[in-house]
Amino acid sequence: MLRPNEVRALLDACGTTPAGLRTRALIAALYRAGLRLNEARLLRVKDLDPDARSIRVLHAKGGRARTVGIDHGGTALLIDWLEARKTLGHGVDGWVFCGRSGEPISASYVRVQLQRLGHRAGLDRRVHAHGFRHAHAAELRAEGVDVAVIRRQLGHASLATTIRYLDHLCPAAVVRAIQAREWEVGEVD
């Protein structure tokens, strides 16, 4: 799972070119809103509400739409990209994460870019889109966010799915919780 300092290194490695700003915004959508790659790829500008710091996900897994939150820092990266996007002639409508043609960037393009970015950032681990979603979920849980809220943010149909997801991501949390317990053993007769 990606750690916050690794995500910062990836953001720094993006640079400030239009493509770099787009990648930074994509990372923000994956990491700070917990979107799946396809959900982020298929966002339209009208799906973003920077003032409310929310994103309407219409192309969610299972055909279920949802609205998710995104924090101030993630919103700022999206706004930076939207401003650069306008200068490229894409206007105020259309796909958020588009290429020169205005069409959505492909999943394979993102996979290759994230691998390259990981190398550029000096990370010795595989960087993949779903890893940002994992980090998002684990950080929310570590911050004490209710599992039901995390379920809605991630778009899981079942709370059991979210619990399995978090158990897979955060086994150390279970160990720490049990290690923190005290037990006084009395004298044995």
Would you please indicate which residues are annotated as catalytic (active-site) residues?
Answer: 36, 61, 130, 133, 156, 165
Question: What is the SS3 assignment for the chain?
Answer: CCCHHHHHHHHHHHCCCHHHHHHHHHHHHHHHCCCCHHHHHCCEHHHEECCCCEEEECCCHHHCCEEEECCHHHHHHHHHHHHHHHHCCCCCCCECCECCCCCECCHHHHHHHHHHHHHHCCCCCCCCHHHHHHHHHHHHHHCCCCHHHHHHHHCCCCHHHHHHHHHHHCHHHHHHHHHCCCCCCCCCC
> Which residue, 13, 5, 7, 9, is CA-closest to 29?
7
> Which residue, 81, 16, 17, 19, is CA-closest to 48?
81
